[in-house]
Amino acid sequence: MRLLRMWYCKRKLSVFSPSALIVVTFLFFAMASVSSAGIQVQTREDTNKLTELSLEELMNVEVVSASKTAEKISETSAAIFVITQDDIRRSGVTSIPEALRMVPGMEVARIDANKWAISARGFNDRFANKLLVLIDGRSVYSPFFSGVFWDAQDTMLEDIDRIEVIRGPGSALWGANAVNGVINIITKNAKETQGGLVTTGFGSEERGFGGVRYGGKIGPAGYYRIYGKYFDRDAYANSQDHNANDGWSSFRSGFRADFGSSRQSSMTLQGDVYSGSADQSIEISSPTPPYQDLVNAETVTSGGNIMASWKHSFSNTSQMKIQSYFDRTERKDILAREDRNTFDVDLQHSFSLNERQKCIWGLGYRVTGDDIRNSYTLGVDPSSRVDNLYSAFIQDEISLIPKILRQTVGLKFEHNDYTGFEVQPTVRLLWTPDTKNTIWAAISRAVRTPSRVESDGIGNNTIVSPGLQGSGDQLAVVKFIGNDTLSSEKLIAYELGYRVQPSRNLFFDLALFYNRYDEIIATTSGTPYAALLPGMPVLVFPYVAANNVSGQSHGLELAADWSVSDWWRLQFAYTYLVMQLDSGDDNPYWEYQAKTGTSPEHQVSLRSGMNLGHNLQLDLWLRYVDGLKRIEVDRYMTMDLRLSWKPEKNVEFAIVGQNLFNPNHYEFGEDISLPTKVQRGVYGKVTWQF
Amino acid sequence: MLASCFFSPPAHALSAPEYEVKAAFLYNFAKFIEWPPGTFHDENSPINLCLTDGSSFRGALEAIQGKTVKGRKIAIRTAGTDGTAACQILFIPSSDMTQVGEILDSVKSRGILTVGEEKGFAQLGGIISFVLIGNKISFEINIDAAKRSGLEISSQLLKLAIIVRDKP
């Protein structure tokens, strides 16, 4: 929650031209007519081993094919993008937020070495609140400020099976707060992570990191894995290009056990514990001198979770899933301390009503209790609160014309302790005129419930301004006051999508949207009044949270996937976004708090993956992000490069260069803490499986 | 619920890219097929494996190029320019299904093993069709099409296949 912005106007002259961007995009499409030269395929050695197998053995080989993902994407009437494990590994990213940069429609801005501003389709902010994020079905969305603390979300990247990103409202299925998108991070079944894996490396920004995982069997039909990981990241640069004091380190450990995966019933048990500490430069206010200070402060996060889920197939056409989890987080920050316990239980049943209709319905209950220790700069009243959330949903998929036209109707009812009853419906249509083309359309309504801070918060930002004519310093306090009568934010989204696969190795996915927002929460200014701090008269400017912003946004997202040859693949993503928000009030700060102008208008991502001979893989990732006008962040273009070598089947060496084009660049503006400049870096890594 | 558990050494599941597995299958099919007399010019003539479409599959097939089956080497060719006359095996990938009807019709009694991967390939008259069951590869054999072609398929191959007949 920002109270007052101070802009850092240090501009870094970017030495690239927009024409480079045009050339890159042109090259991508122009190369469609060039046929590939044959370079020795890296896979020759592996295929040789396959030819030594008998027919029976060959029929037992598990095939890794992209078609499973492709099938899922082609049958979804939503703007979905799936980040595969291969995408994660070959991109060289060391955290989940960084992997999200390859998804069209997503905005990922690194605020400093340990913080990100991540959103979909606008409203980007460190505390962006319109994106729901789940890890294996467990929500990691914090009700404290309605967003995700990305510095506390992590897992062993090698254990991620895929990350499904749906832009647009996923509320009929996932509930409130999935307004602009849902991110589902799905880890691998323990059956697929058997044996040992050790990974370690170090570099200039990734000072040191390591992870160990071991998986084995439990009885005849059970599998488990346990892991531990650690990393230590260097600070980035501040505005003077000195060390910015924003490094962080984290330790995490966990397990997963799966039972009976190939039978009628299966069960999964998983849990993690973690502990981390991250530094930053942060502005704090106090009622006593010096009233306002920029301090180096450490945020300590720790927590754990445990989750159990049970799936049962009653028949070919009827499946049920029950899932329950407990999650505890502790966050110690100089601004506030939050301890939170969450318990959630969810039931889902999918069945075929008749040969043309497939239904899913579900019930859910979540209780979350917190304990906050306030500071003068930020606090909540009451400082401790327990909230209950009840939800029910139903979704019906109807084959209007078998295999050609499919309609989905969905509805979610929720009752929460902030705004009462909420209804989120959606209607979707999927049209597959032939095997190469898919068209989908959707109209949905979604809501975002107010956060703890918006409802119960009290914040003080003291501003010291030098007195006039030597009469001494003047003190003012910008006071933020929460409002517990807030309604939820509303969205009506109109979406259209087109997917085409002109040939087996070329695929395009286009999504268009128009969003109408209403009752967006910002603040409305009250009448200033005089007050007294210990020994000092002060003028207080109150700002009360209110649903006073409305507006619209529209945009386009394009993903393209081209296997140029069997050793070279290109993946392209383009994002276009326009936002227009208005406030009824004549409030000078509504713009910033409504977060328009913190999202780039254009973004481009181009990944090139090459399988060279001799077990070498070379990956390039080119990214362009437009400037963020209102917070004065320059546009930037940068590149990551990864070269890996697998001398044997179970050892891989990789060297990764990140942000190579500029020595450093800003990606975001100030929020509560100072932004720092993302630095160029390189690291080396070795992964060993046994 | 977890009573007594015993931990045994982990089993590794073999997994590989789809096209490489299919290439290995094609190599194996050749071992269990007898071509009609007169198919081969002499005892050193290669078994010509023709592809209708160049790009995606070719790389994986290079691994079986030159491998020997019953004394003959496998040679990879393109069906397009040279026609299908000299082919012993013709592989039609999913991306090339637009003229499959004509192609299968023109080769049907000429001793060519037609292999496809698109759903329904065998019912259309193709001899062998790959199918994905879960994430493992299996295959259908259209015994009517096999009979028409003049090829002799070993019972060892037939017993592992899903037997399919022509569409009535």
ipTM: 0.83
Model confidence at A39: pLDDT above 90: no
- Dump pLDDT digits (tens) for A86-97: 899 999 999 999
A2 within a domain of the structure (yes/no): no
Mean pLDDT for A329-342 is 92
Rounded (5°) CA angle A13-A17-A23: 155
For residue A492, name the pLDDT band (cuts at 50, 70, 90). Answer: very high
Confidence (pLDDT) at A673: 78
Confidence (pLDDT) at A35: 27
CA distance A304 to chain B (A): 22
A310 within a domain of the structure (yes/no): no
Which CATH number does the domain housing residue B111 bear?
3.40.50.2300
- Dump pLDDT digits (tens) for A231-248: 998 888 888 888 888 889
For residue B55, give the chain A residue with the closest CA: A565
CA distance B16 to chain A (A): 5
Confidence (pLDDT) at A281: 83
- Dump pLDDT digits (tens) for A103-127: 999 999 999 888 899 999 998 888 8
Is B3 touching A (CB cutoff 8 A)?
no
Q: Please give the distance of CA A84 from its chain centroid, rounded to a whole number.
A: 15
Look over chain A and give the mean of its residue pLDDT values, rounded to a whole number.
84
Selection from A635, A534, A564, A652 nearest residue A29 by Cα: A564
Is A450 touching B (CB cutoff 8 A)?
no
Pairwise CA distance, residues B160 & B152, whole Å: 16
For residue B102, name the pLDDT band (cuts at 50, 70, 90). Answer: confident
- Dump pLDDT digits (tens) for B27-41: 999 999 999 888 888
For residue A214, name the pLDDT band (cuts at 50, 70, 90). Answer: very high
For residue A681, name the pLDDT band (cuts at 50, 70, 90). Answer: very high
Confidence (pLDDT) at A659: 94
Mean pLDDT for A613-641 is 92
B54 within a domain of the structure (yes/no): yes
More confident residue, A172 or A128: A128
Pairwise CA distance, residues B17 & B122, whole Å: 23
For residue B85, name the pLDDT band (cuts at 50, 70, 90). Answer: confident
For residue B64, name the pLDDT band (cuts at 50, 70, 90). Answer: confident
Q: Which residues of A touch B137 (CB under 8 A)?
A: 58-59, 61, 63
Of B6, B21, B135, the CB nearest to A50: B21
**Contact by Cβ (8 Å): A105, A511:** yes
Confidence (pLDDT) at A505: 81
Where b means 16+ CB within 10 Å and e means fewer, A438-448 reads bbbbbebbbbb
Classify residue A107 as exposed, middle or buried by CB count within 10 Å of its CB (0-12, 13-18, 19+). buried
B52 within a domain of the structure (yes/no): yes
Confidence (pLDDT) at A657: 96
Pairwise CA distance, residues A674 & B7, whole Å: 50
For residue B54, name the pLDDT band (cuts at 50, 70, 90). Answer: low
Pairwise CA distance, residues B64 & B81, whole Å: 22
Pairwise CA distance, residues B66 & A602, whole Å: 51
Q: With CB atoms and an 8 Å threshold, state whether A504 touches B95.
A: yes
More confident residue, B107 or A271: A271
Q: Residue for token digits 């070919």? A: A316
Q: Which residues of A touch B132 (CB under 8 A)?
A: 63, 65, 67
B102 within a domain of the structure (yes/no): yes
Pairwise CA distance, residues A42 & A228, whole Å: 32
Task: Report the residue of B1, B8, B12, B14 to disrupt the A interface, i.e. the one with the largest count of A CBs within 10 Å.
Answer: B14
CA distance B32 to chain A (A): 10
Is B154 touching A (CB cutoff 8 A)?
no
- Dump pLDDT digits (tens) for B12-31: 345 567 788 898 999 999 99
- Dump pLDDT digits (tens) for A46-81: 556 777 788 888 887 766 544 445 556 777 888 999
Is B155 touching A (CB cutoff 8 A)?
no
Rounded (5°) CA angle A386-A387-A393: 155
Pairwise CA distance, residues A656 & A203, whole Å: 9
The CA-to-CA distance between both ends of chain A, in Å, stands at: 47
- Dump pLDDT digits (tens) for A527-578: 998 888 777 788 898 999 999 889 999 999 999 999 888 789 999 999 999 9
Model confidence at A513: pLDDT above 60: yes
What's the structural domain count of chain B? 1
- Dump pLDDT digits (tens) for A344-381: 999 999 898 888 998 999 999 999 999 999 998 889 99
Which H or E element spans position A530? strand A529-533
Q: Are strands A457-465 and A437-448 parallel, antiparallel or unpaired?
A: unpaired
Q: Which amino acid is at A335?
A: L
Selection from A312, A71, A50, A94 nearest residue A199 by Cα: A94
Mean pLDDT for A320-326 is 95
Query: Residue A37 is encoded by which pair of tokens?
Result: 């030269």
For residue A470, name the pLDDT band (cuts at 50, 70, 90). Answer: low
Q: Residue for token digits 């506030």? A: A336
Mean pLDDT for A426-436 is 89
Residue A416: CB atoms within 10 A of its CB come to 22
Confidence (pLDDT) at A178: 83
Confidence (pLDDT) at A29: 39
Of chain A, the percentage scoring pLDDT greater than 90 comes to: 51
More confident residue, A37 or A501: A501
A6 within a domain of the structure (yes/no): no
Q: Which domain holds residue B139?
A: 44-164
Model confidence at A41: pLDDT above 60: no
Provide the residue count of chain A: 690
Which of A55-59, A159-163, B83-87 has the largest mean confidence? Answer: A159-163
Pairwise CA distance, residues A180 & A165, whole Å: 11
Confidence (pLDDT) at A109: 94
User: φ, ψ for residue A79 (rounded to 5)?
Assistant: -85, 90
Model confidence at A5: pLDDT above 50: no
Among residues 40-99 of chain B, which lie with CB inside 8 Å of chain A?
53-60, 62-64, 67, 93-95
Strand extents, DSSP E, A204-241:
206-218, 222-233
Confidence (pLDDT) at B16: 66
Which CATH number does the domain housing residue A99 bear?
2.40.170.20
A309 within a domain of the structure (yes/no): no
The CA-to-CA distance between both ends of chain B, in Å, stands at: 54
For residue A30, name the pLDDT band (cuts at 50, 70, 90). Answer: very low
Pairwise CA distance, residues A434 & A41, whole Å: 33
**Contact by Cβ (8 Å): A577, A553:** yes
Among residues 527-566 of chain A, which lie with CB inside 8 Å of chain B?
563, 565-566
B123 within a domain of the structure (yes/no): yes
What's the structural domain count of chain A? 1
A353 within a domain of the structure (yes/no): yes
Of chain B, the percentage scoring pLDDT greater than 70 comes to: 85
Q: With CB atoms and an 8 Å threshold, state whether A194 touches B56.
A: no
**Contact by Cβ (8 Å): A638, A659:** yes
Model confidence at B129: pLDDT above 60: yes
A314 within a domain of the structure (yes/no): no
CA distances from residue A206 to A311, A519, A637, B67 in whole angstroms, order as listed:
40, 42, 21, 47
Pairwise CA distance, residues B62 & A44, whole Å: 7
Model confidence at A26: pLDDT above 50: no
For residue B131, give the chain A residue with the closest CA: A59
Task: Report the residue of A61, A84, A263, A570 to disrupt the B interface, i.e. the one with the largest count of B CBs within 10 Å.
Answer: A61
Rounded (5°) CA angle A105-A176-A142: 85
For residue A339, name the pLDDT band (cuts at 50, 70, 90). Answer: very high
Q: Which domain holds residue A289?
A: 18-236+244-303+324-689
Q: Residue for token digits 């695929």? A: A507
Mean pLDDT for A514-528 is 91
A319 within a domain of the structure (yes/no): no
Maximum distance among all Cα pairs of chain B, rounded to whole angstroms: 68
Of A35, A56, A64, the CB nearest to B16: A64
Chain A to chain B Cβ contacts (< 8 Å):
139
3-state secondary structure of B145: helix
Model confidence at A459: pLDDT above 60: yes
**Contact by Cβ (8 Å): A393, A361:** yes
For residue A502, give the chain B residue with the closest CA: B95
**Contact by Cβ (8 Å): A638, A627:** no
Q: With CB atoms and an 8 Å threshold, state whether A64 touches B12.
A: no
DSSP H helix total and E strand total for chain B: 6, 11
A317 within a domain of the structure (yes/no): no
Q: Is the dihedral of CA A606, A81, A613, B46 positive or negative?
A: negative
Q: Which residues of A touch B160 (CB under 8 A)?
A: 55-56, 59
DSSP3 helix / strand / coil % (chain B, rounded to 5):
30, 25, 45
Mean pLDDT for A288-299 is 85
- Regarding pTM above 0.80, the answer is no
Mean pLDDT for A619-627 is 96
